[in-house]
Amino acid sequence: MTDQDPIPFSRRFAWDRVQPRGTPVSIEATPAECKAIADALGILKVANASAEFLVTPFRKTGFKVTGEVRAEVEQACVVSLEPVPESISETVDLRFLPESEIEPVDEEIEVDIDAEDPPEPIVGAFVDLGVLATEFIAVGLDPYPRSPGAEFTPLIEDDGSEDEAESPFAGLSALKDKQP
């Protein structure tokens, strides 16, 4: 999804609605929104999509969104193109701070899998929990869905020899040799 794409699933939650001990928020996509999510993610079907969030204050000026996103989807098998059903359950744990309070990222990026992710910037007076749920559905998708029993059979048989494969230009070379 890009900034130009229409939002397939939108549930705006205003930051000023957050209670001191947190505000629980449950969302569920309608059938039309499920179809729009499937189209946006380029998959066959989203049967259902829902999320349970708890939005709490974080530090003095930020917020934390925790919870779980769930969805039942179907993707095309990478071998047979048959529908492959999949259950998605992704844990959400995000922090939001005003942009002015987020430390800038160094030019050289070091990856530390144990380090906590940096906070997301607060942009505007609300967070779109539907967009957040859609992003976590995308994260949970199997990148190579495969039907049970589906096996890839190459078009070219490997006879086990170690001969080099013929160059794709060998045919052109033969044509060149035939010219007067």
Listed as ranges, residues in the chain with pLDDT below 70 are 1-5, 105-106, 109, 156-166, 168, 170-171, 173-180
Determine the pLDDT at residue 148: 85
Looking at residue 133, its amino acid is A
Direct distance between the N- and C-terminal alpha carbons of the chain, in angstroms, rounded to an integer: 56
Return the half-sphere exposure (C-beta side, CA atoms, 13 A cut-off) of residue 28: 5
Determine the pLDDT at residue 113: 80
Query: What is the C-alpha to C-alpha distance for residues 48 and 73, in angstroms, rounded to an integer?
Result: 7
What confidence tens digit (pLDDT) does each residue in 156-168 have? 665 555 555 667 6
Determine the pLDDT at residue 117: 81
User: pTM for the whole thing?
Assistant: 0.77
Determine the pLDDT at residue 154: 72
């929990």: which residue's tokens? Answer: 129
What confidence tens digit (pLDDT) does each residue in 135-147 have? 999 999 999 999 8
Q: Nearest-5° angle of CA 8, CA 10, CA 14?
A: 160
The domain ranges of the chain are 12-103+114-155
């130009």: which residue's tokens? Answer: 4
